[in-house]
Amino acid sequence: MLDLIKNVFVNNGLITAFVVVGLTMWLAYFISDKFTKGRIHGSAIAIVIGLVLAYFGGVATGGTKGIADVSFLAGMGFLGGSMLRDFAIVATSFGANFDEIKKAGFKGVISLFIGVVLSFIVGVIFAFVFGYRDAVSITTIGAGTVTYIVGPVTGAALNASSEVIAISIAAGLVKAVLVMVGTPFIARFIGLNNPTSAMVYGGLMGTTSGVTGGLAATDPKLVPYGAVTATFYTGLGCLLCPTILFLITDIFL
Amino acid sequence: MLVIYGVAILAGCFLVGSIVGEFIGALMGVDSNVGGVGIAMLLLIIIVDKLIKAGKISKPSLDGLSFWNQMYIPVVIAMAASQNVLGALTGGPLAILAGIGVVVISWACVPLLSGKKHSESTFHEAIVRGETDA
């Protein structure tokens, strides 16, 4: 009997995910309404619940895909995977104002370059403080603080050790999770309430999952502006880290 | 006009953007999609704007776009639930401190780059200034 039910969930993964996410959001909006009087946005709470589920999924299965590693919840990985995520991000631009994007375009591009280089430098400093002295390891950890994709891409290109690559991925994950959870709380202190600052935010933070998740929990209207710059960030990081930034790091050491 | 037309326009923009993004990636020698989503977004904004101004798109078609627009937050929650959170928390102190450090420093740079004059509400400006003074 239990197997029969489980099989229905397993064989209809995406549909199961709709139900699970629907229930999560209902619970989150209930908590937001009843316990925070709407001060903490429902979607921010839903994202935190999602991350907690992901943690327990990881503990239970030892996998890397959070709750999606639990067989009957594999559909969560599909619903939240890159295809549907990117598709929904593109859909957010429906309603965005092109004039605002043009107006802030220059600042967005500048913030992209500053964002990648700044994140890299911070990662490099932490790697150095923690005792790493070879350019390959330091560059890989610096690339990890850019995003958790740039880290392993750079590490693979430079032949870094798997231990260092693992640290770089973890640093990028910490960044993504913190941006997702922290953005709604920090938003008013950094003036994150208009299209220009959202584009700068996307360029500076870069992590697409963090930025779009964080902005969704802050003000869904800002999502397209943050996403339009953030989606260039990982590519730029993959371009700069194993090349120019590695060479510069190598000179300094 | 059908709902699927709106979804098809969205999907078409997504695919064109992805192809261009892969192409840029290949040109740069990076094995990833560089800015494909951003390009798809700009494309969608321009196309939908032109269609609306020309009166060539109907309410059901726009509903097809609007549905996926509103599915964004549920997708983000599913994404959060399938992150490697355990990996982030067990990455050791270097990973955790570097991750926190980079986020805090980047946050501090947001107002420097976005400039206060673009802030829409003076109320928020006052708060930002108060924080800097304190």
Q: Write down the domain spans for chain A.
A: 2-80, 98-252
User: Is 60 exceeded by the pLDDT of residue B51?
Assistant: yes
Nearest to A167 among B18, B73, B94 (CB): B94
Q: Does B75 touch chain A (CB under 8 A)?
A: yes
ipTM attached to this prediction: 0.82
Separation between Cα atoms, residue A133 and residue A131, nearest integer Å: 6
The predicted-structure confidence for B74-128, as pLDDT tens digits, reads as follows 998 998 898 888 887 887 899 999 999 999 999 999 999 887 654 444 333 333 3
According to the model, what pLDDT value does residue B130 have?
A: 35
- Give the per-residue pLDDT at B42: 87
Higher pLDDT, A54 or B126: A54
Could you say which of A54, A197, A216 has the minimum Cβ distance to residue B72?
Answer: A216
Which amino acid appears at position A215 of this protein?
L
Which of A57, A111, A171 is opposite residue B95, by nearest beta carbon?
A171
Buried b (16+ CB within 10 A) or exposed e, A112-124: bebbbbbbbbbbb
Long-range contacts formed by B115-122: CB under 8 A, 24+ apart: B115/A107, B115/A196, B116/A191, B118/A104, B118/A194, B118/A196, B118/A197, B119/A191, B119/A193, B119/A194, B119/A197, B120/A193, B120/A194, B121/A193
Give A171's contacts in chain B (Cβ within 8 Å): 91, 94-96, 98-99, 102
- Say how many CB pairs under 8 Å bridge A and B: 346
Nearest-angstrom CA–CA distance, A219 and A20: 23
pLDDT tens figures, A66-80: 999 999 999 999 999
Inform me whether the C-beta atom of residue B66 falls under 8 Å from chain A C-beta atoms: yes
Output the average pLDDT for chain A. Answer: 90
List Cβ neighbours of A201 (8 Å cut-off, separation of 6 or more): A111, A183, A190, A192, A211, A215, A226, B110, B114
Do A91 and B87 lie within an 8 Å CB cutoff? no
Burial of A144 (0-12, 13-18, 19+ CB in 10 A): buried
B contacts of A179 (beta carbons < 8 Å): 103
* Structural domain spans, chain B: 1-83, 84-134
Contacts of A211 in chain B (CB under 8 A): none
Contact A234, B32 (CB under 8 A): yes
Is the Cβ of A141 closer than 8 Å to some Cβ of chain B?
A: yes
Is the pTM above the cut of 0.90? no
CA-based nearest residue to A170, from A148, A137, A140: A148
Instruction: Please check whether residue B121 touches A, CB under 8 A.
Output: yes
Q: Which of B18, B28, B92 sits opposite A170 (nearest CB)?
A: B92
